[in-house]
A and B are shown apart, each in its own frame.
Chain A
Amino acid sequence: MNVDAPSRLRATGITKSYGAVNALADVNFELKPGEVMALLGENGAGKSTIVKVISGLIIPDTGQITVDGEPVSLTSVRASQAAGIAVVQQEFSTVGTMSVAENLVLGQSGAPAWWSPKKLNDQAKSILARVGLEDLDPRRSVDTLSVAEMQLLEIARVLAKDAKIIIFDEPTAALSDAEIVRVLAAVKRLAAEGRSVIYVTHRLGEVFEIADRVTIFRNGRSEAPQNVKDLTVDRVVELMIGRELGHLYPERSEKFGAAVLEAKGLKVPGIKGEINLTVRRGEILGLTGQLGSGASEIMKAISGTADVLSGEVLLDGEAVDLRGRRRGIIMGIAYCSPDRKKDGIFAGISVRRNLSSPWLRRVSRVGFVSRAQENSEATRSASNFAIDLSRLNTLVGNLSGGNQQKVAVGKWLGIRPRVLLVEEPTRGVDIGARAEIYAQLRLLCDSGVGVIVASSDTNEILGLSDTVATYYRGTQTANKPVQEWTESDLVREVMHRED
């Protein structure tokens, strides 16, 4: 990499806001020819938004982008491709039933309408060799490839387009260690050819292995790029989380009562070994890990959403039958999934009827809903969660993300929960609503409800929980009081174990 080289890509003063939320606030970003630039930051820090801006998926409110010194207008994916920018997607865009070689030409501009099979395969072989797939038969159907091979093929497809700037969006999120090595080697080779790489990741280890420089995002703002060789893991973590916890999180109660929920020898698909967990009265238990770590599977199992292979769950000392959500709700187990749009809210239904949906049966007599009781309880839930009472008749889909999340959690108050399980309680939620959700979770916990929070946001876990359990690739790696964790310990525990 030539340090004094002119910029390959330069983005200055980029802003993008959604309503009151600033996804990007005056972001500056720079990329030199032949360098690997890692983008780091917590969820919602802005790194995926800037990637979408550069790839033409999002048009920023303000700001300018130049490629090789020329101003470009990246108003569509096509415009971005024309400027020499290509994205290696996290989701695969290959066509499973077609051959490897056919997939390489697919969607390539300038490819002739027909190539002889020999020419096609020869072309494919030379591209495959550049990503370390020289042994792969280009005639094989993509269906038969491993996940890592598909990821490498995805990179090869980008190579076939001959891009100057290649964006990798968490390419190793779904790969095992051995497979990651192959992908990283391919990335290094691209940089050696003089291409510029933007590498988005959650894994700190990879950054130190392949990146030349790092740009760290925090709350929609970017730090000036730093040379990786001047940094340490601790310094990176500090830069990523360097915001004060302040009064965002409520006070802890310090004293715990009897166990509300105990999981004993729980075996769950996707989790290695048996899980033992206890939540006591007055305690918030935080589970944390990256995507696919297993924390989510445990929450689903306890809620009755997913299967339990063996082991038992005790509620106030009594074993409960965990098959199906309906039984769980009757037992008083509330569960908020991480994806509220998918299965947390009814977007086309009013706030009031969303709030009453899980406990409508309780306020019904011989099948007739008591409107008065429904209204008074829904109103109480809404005011507890600081939901604007004048909007009880508004469709939930028309609310902001924060208010939608308040509804998704608040609707469980009415089942009179004994245990509340919440996954990613504040994903896509603005800071004000976050504080209200945290306060309400703590209040519920103080009132005797067992609260378990699963989140990939380590900052949130540390600020909110009394006890923190960590997960890494399907294994519970630690379970200890929050006082025994420092923030950098925890980040390293969930991100950095490959070192």
Chain B
Amino acid sequence: MTITEKISLRLQDQSGLRRRTDTIRTWALPILIVLVFVLASAFVPEFFKFETIRSILLLTSITGIVAVGMTAITLSGNLFSLGVTASAVFSGVIYIWVGQGTGNMFIAAAVAIVAAVVIGLIQGFIVGLGLNTVIVTLAAGSIIYGLTAILTKGEVVQAQGVSLEGFGTFQIFGIPLPIYIFVIFTAVAWFLTEHTLIGRNVHLLGSNKNTARSSGISPMGTTIWAFTAFSLSIGIAAVLQASQMHQIQADNLPGLTMDVVAAVLVGGTAVTGGDGSPIKSAIGALFIATITQVMVLMSIPEGQRYFVLGVVVVALVVVLHLLRKAGTR
């Protein structure tokens, strides 16, 4: 065998390895979810029922919508927003107040979503100036939480005399509206990231900021777009959440931020940016909801549930990271 033959053979081997690791990375989570479903159906009583599956999907929908939106920020190389909870609760309060005032849930939803987007735009602008996303969004989250607590005086905000629960409870073929919205939102997000200039630029910016700049892509503009997509998802999720609960309070949704971050990470979007997909994050959210629901049915106490979930998330993220490294060596 000549040297060139040997080299080309080795190169083929490596590209084969890459393809294999890519395949594993793409399919690991869906297969794991199927596995959990099969095992839970066999061993957990009450699991394999329409109501259980519906409640898993309902549980997924709110986290999932925000995780899909968050993917835009992560893909753009801007890590995560850590102010999810505060922004979502604030938008939820706006929804109920405007709904109470106007009596029209559509107007209320529109105002709540616009409020979320405005808050997101401001943060996107500051991050676009070059500040660290984690610091900006933590600070913003704290400000928004404080504002919500002051405005509501820390009390429960409740809709009285008007019906605002339509978005949360309306059903088509026995399946609640939030699940449809989640699926449609994910599909649209996927289409936009793959087929629009902005979506593609978000990807490129996250892959290499310097090359993006030298290729004429504006880091500021692209970052603001990513935050816009993210805050749109916050607004939608907030409306769905407030509709379901019909009330909201400043310290609601304490685990949402971390659930969303976990969904994005478990889904397999790279923290470093440039590699990932909103669909992956949606599947990540589904996985977390499934595991949680299984543990609830098995009557595992809350503390232990968090513990197990944490261990599973860390293990998956480590494995995905190692696979990515093996694939791009």
Which residues does chain A contribute within 8 Å of B201, judged by CB atoms?
360
20 additional A-B residue pairs with CB within 8 Å, beyond A20-B4, A353-B203, A369-B195: A19-B7, A19-B11, A325-B213, A325-B215, A328-B216, A335-B214, A344-B214, A346-B207, A346-B211, A346-B212, A348-B275, A357-B215, A357-B217, A360-B197, A361-B216, A364-B196, A368-B196, A369-B196, A371-B195, A398-B18
A346, B204: Cβ atoms closer than 8 Å: yes
B216, A325: Cβ atoms closer than 8 Å: yes
- A397 on the interface (CB 8 Å rule)? yes
CA separation between A364 and B112, bound complex, in Å? Answer: 32
CA separation between A353 and B197, bound complex, in Å? Answer: 12
A398, B204: Cβ atoms closer than 8 Å: no
Shortest Cβ gap from B75 to chain A (Å):
11
- A229 on the interface (CB 8 Å rule)? no
Interface bits A279-323 vs B (CB < 8 Å: 1, else 0) = 000000000000000000000000001000000000000000000
In chain A, residues 97-128, which have Cβ atoms closer than 8 Å to a Cβ of chain B?
A: none
B198, A367: Cβ atoms closer than 8 Å: yes
22 contacts between A and B (CB under 8 A): A325-B215, A326-B216, A328-B216, A337-B214, A342-B210, A343-B214, A344-B214, A346-B207, A347-B207, A348-B207, A348-B208, A349-B274, A353-B200, A353-B204, A357-B204, A358-B216, A367-B196, A368-B195, A371-B195, A395-B328, A398-B14, A398-B18
Chain B interface secondary structure, helix, strand, loop or mixed? helix
Which residues does chain B contribute within 8 Å of A373, judged by CB atoms?
none
- A329 on the interface (CB 8 Å rule)? yes
CA separation between A368 and B216, bound complex, in Å? Answer: 18
Query: Interface of B with A (CB < 8 Å)?
Result: 4, 7, 11, 14-15, 18, 195-198, 200-201, 203-204, 207-208, 210-218, 270, 274-275, 328
CA separation between A330 and B15, bound complex, in Å? Answer: 37
**Closest residue of chain A to B213, judged by CB?**
A325
A369, B18: Cβ atoms closer than 8 Å: no
Q: A342-B210, A349-B274, A353-B204 given as contacts; is B15 within 8 A of A394 (CB)? A: yes
A358, B328: Cβ atoms closer than 8 Å: no
CA separation between A20 and B8, bound complex, in Å? Answer: 9
CA separation between A83 and B289, bound complex, in Å? Answer: 59
- A345 on the interface (CB 8 Å rule)? yes
In chain A, residues 364-379, which have Cβ atoms closer than 8 Å to a Cβ of chain B?
A: 364, 367-369, 371
CA separation between A228 and B277, bound complex, in Å? Answer: 62
Which residues does chain B contribute within 8 Å of A19, judged by CB atoms?
7, 11
Chain A interface secondary structure, helix, strand, loop or mixed? mixed
**Partner among A344, A346, A364, A395 whose Cβ is within 8 Å of the Cβ of B197:** A364
A349, B15: Cβ atoms closer than 8 Å: no
**Closest residue of chain A to B197, judged by CB?**
A364
Which residues does chain B contribute within 8 Å of A342, judged by CB atoms?
210-211
Which residues does chain B contribute within 8 Å of A348, judged by CB atoms?
207-208, 270, 274-275, 328
Which residues does chain A contribute within 8 Å of B328, judged by CB atoms?
347-348, 395, 397-398
Shortest Cβ gap from A323 to chain B (Å):
13
CA separation between A342 and B18, bound complex, in Å? Answer: 23
CA separation between A346 and B216, bound complex, in Å? Answer: 14
Which residues does chain B contribute within 8 Å of A360, judged by CB atoms?
197, 200-201
CA separation between A329 and B216, bound complex, in Å? Answer: 7
CA separation between A371 and B203, bound complex, in Å? Answer: 16
A369, B208: Cβ atoms closer than 8 Å: no
**Closest residue of chain B to A408, judged by CB?**
B211
CA separation between A343 and B217, bound complex, in Å? Answer: 12
Shortest Cβ gap from A406 to chain B (Å):
15
CA separation between A397 and B15, bound complex, in Å? Answer: 12
Shortest Cβ gap from A342 to chain B (Å):
6
CA separation between A398 and B329, bound complex, in Å? Answer: 8
In chain A, residues 386-406, which have Cβ atoms closer than 8 Å to a Cβ of chain B?
A: 394-395, 397-398
Shortest Cβ gap from B187 to chain A (Å):
16
A398, B15: Cβ atoms closer than 8 Å: yes
**Closest residue of chain B to A346, judged by CB?**
B207
Shortest Cβ gap from B195 to chain A (Å):
6
In chain A, residues 330-362, which have Cβ atoms closer than 8 Å to a Cβ of chain B?
A: 330, 335, 337, 342-349, 353, 357-358, 360-361
Which residues does chain B contribute within 8 Å of A398, judged by CB atoms?
14-15, 18, 328
Shortest Cβ gap from B61 to chain A (Å):
27
Shortest Cβ gap from B101 to chain A (Å):
35
CA separation between A449 and B121, bound complex, in Å? Answer: 41
Q: A343-B208, A349-B204 given as contacts; is B214 within 8 A of A326 (CB)? A: no
CA separation between A368 and B194, bound complex, in Å? Answer: 9
A20, B208: Cβ atoms closer than 8 Å: no
Shortest Cβ gap from A417 to chain B (Å):
12
CA separation between A86 and B3, bound complex, in Å? Answer: 36
Q: A357-B217, A369-B195 given as contacts; is B200 within 8 A of A345 (CB)? A: no
Q: Which of A344, A348, A353 has most B Cβ within 10 Å?
A: A348
Which residues does chain A contribute within 8 Å of B200, judged by CB atoms?
353, 360, 369
CA separation between A330 and B197, bound complex, in Å? Answer: 16
CA separation between A347 and B270, bound complex, in Å? Answer: 14
Which residues does chain A contribute within 8 Å of B208, judged by CB atoms?
343, 345-348
B195, A345: Cβ atoms closer than 8 Å: no
Which residues does chain B contribute within 8 Å of A326, judged by CB atoms?
216, 218
Interface bits A16-44 vs B (CB < 8 Å: 1, else 0) = 00011000000000000000000000000
In chain A, residues 407-439, which have Cβ atoms closer than 8 Å to a Cβ of chain B?
A: 411
Which residues does chain A contribute within 8 Å of B198, judged by CB atoms?
367
Which residues does chain A contribute within 8 Å of B15, judged by CB atoms?
394, 398
CA separation between A369 and B195, bound complex, in Å? Answer: 5
**Partner among B7, B11, B197 whose Cβ is within 8 Å of the Cβ of A361:** B197
Which residues does chain B contribute within 8 Å of A361, judged by CB atoms?
197, 216
CA separation between A394 and B14, bound complex, in Å? Answer: 12
CA separation between A358 and B328, bound complex, in Å? Answer: 24
Shortest Cβ gap from B209 to chain A (Å):
9
Shortest Cβ gap from B201 to chain A (Å):
7
Which residues does chain B contribute within 8 Å of A329, judged by CB atoms?
215-216
Report, nearest first, the 3 A-B pairs whose CB atoms are least far apart: A343-B210, A346-B207, A329-B216
CA separation between A325 and B218, bound complex, in Å? Answer: 10
Shortest Cβ gap from A238 to chain B (Å):
31
Which residues does chain A contribute within 8 Å of B11, judged by CB atoms?
19
**Closest residue of chain B to A415, judged by CB?**
B216
B214, A325: Cβ atoms closer than 8 Å: yes
Shortest Cβ gap from B28 to chain A (Å):
19
Which residues does chain B contribute within 8 Å of A325, judged by CB atoms?
213-216
CA separation between A465 and B236, bound complex, in Å? Answer: 60
Shortest Cβ gap from A26 to chain B (Å):
14
Which residues does chain B contribute within 8 Å of A346, judged by CB atoms?
204, 207-208, 211-212, 274
CA separation between A397 and B208, bound complex, in Å? Answer: 12
**Closest residue of chain A to B22, judged by CB?**
A395
**Closest residue of chain B to A326, judged by CB?**
B216
**Closest residue of chain A to B7, judged by CB?**
A20
Which residues does chain A contribute within 8 Å of B14, judged by CB atoms?
398
Which residues does chain A contribute within 8 Å of B218, judged by CB atoms?
326
Which residues does chain A contribute within 8 Å of B275, judged by CB atoms?
348
Q: Which of A328, A335, A358, A371 has most B Cβ within 10 Å?
A: A358
Shortest Cβ gap from A422 to chain B (Å):
13
Which residues does chain B contribute within 8 Å of A345, judged by CB atoms?
208, 211
CA separation between A411 and B15, bound complex, in Å? Answer: 23
Shortest Cβ gap from A235 to chain B (Å):
34
